[in-house]
Amino acid sequence: MKPIPKAIRPYGDTLHDGKVQISFSLPMPSDAHGEAAAKAVAQSMRLVDVAVVEQRSLGKDYSFYVVYGTLTETVDPSTLKVVDHGEKAMRKTDVEAFINEHFQAPLVFIGASTGTDAHTVGIDAIMNMKGIAGHYGLERYEGIEAINLGSQIDNEVLLEKALEVNADVILISQTVTQKDMHIRNLTAFVELLEAEGVRDRFLVIIGGPRINHALAKELGFDAGFGPGKFAFDVASFAVKALAERGVKTR
């Protein structure tokens, strides 16, 4: 395996040139003063050779900018602490074979977008039969019973249903993240599990555009999956974790 480099930075045209693109909004009109403010913001991020390449109005006194710049700082990847899921994920057929070999009964996965979150694209991508991007969802996996409750499901309702169907795994999708709404809702669910004395009863996995494994562990969940993850990623982690716990094992 190639050694981890000691110093890296982003690149655009040529390796290590430090070229980056950033975008943001400002509470200023889209005019020359707003453009100057956008450049100053980028420079405060220690970017040099800053250029505002796009700006547009977002209504009175608000504006949006796309800015190019050069980053002179470097990062040493060898010093970074990484929290991941461990082994490489199994593909669908391997997950099914693992279930057939290790478990006596179908595994029950129940999932929902919780709180006021009305988005279902994430939970549907993982659970629904058609899946996404050519990767089937859990409904198509042999040995898994997948129950998708949809969106805007209260934490209490999700837990009640999980207990009712004797679920092994609870999946929670959070798409709305403004002002850290997802953090508050996810924290409330863990607190609910603990208050009811059933935290260890389930494997609880969360997912969404601002979710990662490190955040999930920090919040008290068993795993977290962010963008670019599919049903086989979730299923691989879940079946291995359930086997380690001795859930429904042969």
Where in the sequence numbering do the catalytic residues fall?
Answer: 130
> Cβ–Cβ contacts within 10 Å for residue 79, how many?
8
User: How far, in whole angstroms, is CA 36 from its chain's centroid?
Assistant: 35
